[in-house]
Chains A and B, each alone.
Chain A
């Protein structure tokens, strides 16, 4: 494996008015690695994800993809690089079926410029098969009729079917029961084994210690720690989440910047 991370953030900052959501965050993930991103509510995890996905534009810092600085201005730019996101607020349209959701915005057309439903259905089945998703009865079922775990599987399958290199999952198990959480965690493991870089956001340290290779801790918009799973334990991570050392004390942002 090469030593340049597939995705790297250097000194990324993002503010919303007076709220500093991210402050000089460094972050990286390698191919084949499952990187957990943890932190308390409001730590900035979702903002970090949306910055990578091009939904938010970063105020400072840079994003490197395969060692090159990239500028991501929208979801299409991120997809083009091979970065796919499964959002915390699932971005599925309830009124569309499984295939329609998986191809939304990237529909296949036939020679007459009609939607190529046959091709899309075959590829959707293939992807779900590759991921061993067996709980979905029919891919022509409306997403409205699926359970939370099934929806999450659709969202993940949607993210990985584009030869993606980096898949980001924002709290994929937050709304799920035990059995469904199992399904999704198995799926996450398989993604890592298939050589994808996976960024997994979760509050459940038990889950994280089960599937993650590394753990990055955010606190109040800052990167406070990074661990290898094999070299740490839950206590140490909890300690970092709640009391990790800040390089910069929030609330003094203004004075800081004026005097600096």
Chain B
């Protein structure tokens, strides 16, 4: 059926058309979230059969809190990967932000209001990222090198800011509550209903405007299935979490960031240009897009999200120390974005891959911990999963090349 010629006459695709189109995409390497969701189910089954505490409500809430910082930082990484670039500095940039917020809030008589401390930490993050972006876009230093230098330098800044104190206790109830406070049962259900209603509303509106414009419709079954899937998924999350402490505030923050950045990437010019620059920078330039500016913004967003993650980490640990932003944060965050399905080669990926990938990584980390295994085993297995994800990416890319694209 020719959409180009026949759209005005035949405004509805059959379920079979949709399935065929999806299958063509899968064959040509657009795998979507399919492999990762299968992976998560396998992980849950494996760990549950090994240790029946894995699928308990208490551990589920732990998982949300543990994956929150990785998810947040990985969202920034998704932006950078969409350009086909990398940011190795996010770990210590998150450390710098966490330390700035915590130190500004020490009640020594010079403390600032909470909101000022948070804005200072986020502002520092955005400024650091803009600086990286300018070095990359305007001076022409490869992003790998700029951010490798950043990794070293911002680690140094963390040490300088902590100074001789060793560990600084976070003394601010608002920030501590982020990872340690929970929605009441009723609020959680209400919020869930509002989310599902809003989503259903956007789907209905989409159907309405497409019909009005005489454009091809997808079968009504699909939007109905999507709304149902969201309702069921959120329903399970809220129900299970409410068996234990409830939905942590940080879970709501992560969900809000997910919706916000998905909107920016999917529905704004800026988002479109990020994909265009990542897919074909020369085409973007010839279309009159200011490629340098997009690159600088993207690095600023990446460090800004690292700063948000740093505040979440400080909240979870209730303190910062000389190790802030170190350890596995950088590697887990990059791995999360890639495992979640964002291509290392630029131009392909979604914000949701940050969440899916971080859930995989946090599940492995958490599950192996329940089995009493140490960091050695965790790192080896996480490395294996990362390699698997990149293999899927590379193979699907090779298929795209074979399917007749330059």
Name A's B-contacting residues (CB within 8 A): 53, 55, 74-76, 79, 85, 87, 89-96, 100, 104-107, 109, 113-115, 118-119, 121-122, 125, 128-129, 133-134, 136-142, 144-145, 147-148
B406 near A94 (CB under 8 angstroms)? yes
Chain A residue at smallest Cβ distance from B269: A107
Range, interface on chain B: 35 or more
Complex: A100 Cα to B347 Cα, angstroms: 13
A-B residue pairs in contact (CB < 8 Å), sample of 10: A75-B288, A93-B279, A115-B269, A115-B272, A118-B209, A119-B213, A128-B4, A129-B5, A137-B4, A140-B3
A114 CB, min distance to chain B CBs, angstroms = 5
Complex: A113 Cα to B272 Cα, angstroms: 13
Neighbouring B residues of A105 by C-beta, 8 Å: 284, 287-289
Chain B, range 213-231, C-beta contacts under 8 Å to A: 213-216
Instruction: Given A122-B215, A138-B3, answer yes or no on A91-B286 (Cβ-Cβ < 8 Å).
Output: yes
| Binary flags per residue of B277-298, CB closer than 8 Å to A gives 1, else 0 | 0111011111111000000000
B196 CB, min distance to chain A CBs, angstroms = 21
Instruction: Given A93-B279, A125-B7, A144-B28, answer yes or no on A114-B267 (Cβ-Cβ < 8 Å).
Output: yes
Neighbouring B residues of A140 by C-beta, 8 Å: 3
Neighbouring B residues of A125 by C-beta, 8 Å: 3-4, 7-8, 215
Neighbouring B residues of A75 by C-beta, 8 Å: 285-288
Known: A96-B272, A96-B275; 14 extra A-B contacts, CB below 8 A, are: A75-B285, A91-B282, A91-B283, A91-B286, A94-B347, A94-B406, A95-B348, A105-B287, A106-B287, A128-B5, A134-B2, A144-B28, A144-B403, A145-B24
B223 CB, min distance to chain A CBs, angstroms = 15
**Looking at B21, B210, B283, B284, which has the most chain A CB atoms within 10 Å of its CB?**
B283
Q: Tell me, yes or no, whether B393 is within 8 Å of chain A by CB.
A: no
Complex: A137 Cα to B269 Cα, angstroms: 26
Neighbouring A residues of B344 by C-beta, 8 Å: none
B3 near A137 (CB under 8 angstroms)? yes
Instruction: Given A94-B347, A115-B272, answer yes or no on A147-B2 (Cβ-Cβ < 8 Å).
Output: no
Chain B, range 353-399, C-beta contacts under 8 Å to A: none
Complex: A79 Cα to B25 Cα, angstroms: 33
